[in-house]
Amino acid sequence: MSLPCPRPGFGLYVHWPYCTRICPYCDFNVYAAKDRDPAVLLDAVAADIRAHAQAFRELEGPLDSVFLGGGTPSLLGPAQIAGIVETAHAGFGLGPGAEITLEANPRDVLRADLEGWRAAGVTRLSIGVQSLDDAALAFLGRDHDAAAARAAVARALPRFASVSIDLIYARPGQSRESWADELQAALALGAPHLSLYELTIAERTVFEKRVRRGEIQPMPDDDQAALYELTQSITERAGLPAYEISNHAAGPQHRSVHNMIYWQAGDWIGVGPGAHGRLTTGQGRIASLAHRRPEAYVTAAASGQPAWASHERLSPLDTAREALAMGLRVESGVDTARIETLAGRALDTAALEDMQANGLLRLRGGRASLTPQGRLLADRVAAEIAP
């Protein structure tokens, strides 16, 4: 099975799982960095990239993006990052203007060799600001304060082609006024991309335990929806409208190339402990998951094969439903003919018309896209109209 043109993109995700501290809201695959030798995992990541290049020679390069996420990949130095980028280039090639993103903590940005990061190939920095309120940062378990966050963004902006900042809102007890002030302050920093996420109480996190003990109370859904709508209003007026449910950019050139690959059902290789991947081959679309524990990942990578703990060939229907659910997150929506081609059957026409009549979906020019109201119910809309 091959995806219809245009090509949605081809990326490499590198998961660096080590952190100096584990945040209480985080449910990612992360581990304490103390007493860990980064060289061992770096060698395994390089071996895994080479194994993918060998096993999937049919994949059409070059890479449109490389994304170093985590965890805290900003713990890596320029030479270590350059090694990853060079291995990716040797295996698949890097396209002209390829986006190379590094997720970074503010304190790392303040003390790192930013020119070295840039020389290593990094073109885009995604800074985990999370809040510009010191009390909120303490609640979120962050190791920086608001002043450090502001200074980090100011230091990064003149050195990288694009800079993004992450913020977490809809925190317990947060008011409309305080969030509006915080968001305006974030916009004033001048970053051309914002990722704005509502706080989620995930299973097996410190915050979930605190909720069960009655120590914190999650924000009610209606209040979260009101803050989301306020967010859209403020960012649109500031010239950073949402191009995806949680992501805002000051023009197409600042949109995340890598995340657009996810949302448009492109192909990406996932390396590093616990990394997910999606690859379209002659045998269909493969969903892969790397070994989660670093020790198991290192052992698997030494085999010369992709360091997968599991993989499966998605059915055409599952491929289409995933493409639909992800594609609806983007402002431009999905090409309905493409979804039907992937599925081998039609979308639910009655459900499409019903969602449109209820003001949740737009149908125009062969595309289906969410309305502002529909974005609040994206998962429900996708499930209702799925083939």
Q: Domain coordinates of the chain in residue numbers? A: 10-261, 316-387
pLDDT for the residue 348: 92
Structure tokens, 53: 């290049």
What's the average model confidence in pLDDT over 364-375?
Answer: 97
Question: Which has the closest alpha carbon to 155: 106, 196, 101, 225?
Answer: 106
DSSP state of 166: E
- Torsion 36-39-42-48 (CA) sign: negative
Which CATH superfamily is 10-261 part of? Aldolase class I (3.20.20.70)
Rounded distance between C-alpha atoms, residue 340 and residue 100, angstroms: 33
| Confidence at residue 60, expressed as pLDDT on a 0 to 100 scale | 74
Mean pLDDT score, 356-380: 97
Strand-pair partners of 364: 367
- Residue 134 confidence (pLDDT) above 60: yes
Residue 277 scores a pLDDT above 70:
yes
pLDDT at residue 44 tops 70: yes
263 vs 252: CA distance, rounded Å: 15
Report, as an integer, the average pLDDT of 351-358. 97
Average pLDDT over residues 185-202: 98
Instruction: Check residue 59 and give its pLDDT.
Output: 83
Partnered with residue 69 across adjacent β-strands are 15
User: Is the pLDDT confidence value at 180 over 80?
Assistant: yes
Instruction: Report the SS3 class of residue 41.
Output: helix
Query: b/e per residue, 313-339, with b = 16+ CB within 10 A?
Result: ebebebbbbbbbbbbbbbeebbbbebb
- The reported pLDDT for the residue numbered 5 is 37
In which band, very low, low, confident or very high, does the pLDDT at 1 lie, cut at 50, 70 and 90? very low
Residue 74 burial by CB count (10 A; 0-12/13-18/19+): exposed, middle or buried?
buried
Q: List pLDDT tens digits, range 6-42.
A: 468 999 999 999 999 999 999 999 999 998 999 999 9
- Helices in 1-72 by DSSP H: which ranges? 38-55
The listed CATH number (3.30.565.10, 3.30.70.260, 1.10.10.920, 1.10.490.10) that belongs to domain 316-387: 1.10.10.920
Mean pLDDT of 271-277: 99
DSSP H or E stretch at residue 142: none
Find the helix or strand (DSSP H, E) in which 361 lies: strand 361-364
- The two three-digit tokens of residue 336, written as one number: 């309905």
Residue 3 above 50 pLDDT? no
Confidence grade of residue 136 (pLDDT, cut at 50, 70, 90): very high
- Flag whether pLDDT at 4 surpasses 50: no
Average pLDDT (113-129) is: 98
Q: Kindly tell me if the per-residue pLDDT of 188 is higher than 60.
A: yes
Mean pLDDT of 246-267: 97
Mean pLDDT of 231-236: 98
The arithmetic mean of pLDDT across residues 242-246, rounded, is 98
Q: Say if residues 87 and 34 touch (Cβ distance below 8 Å).
A: no
Cα Rg, the chain, nearest whole Å: 21
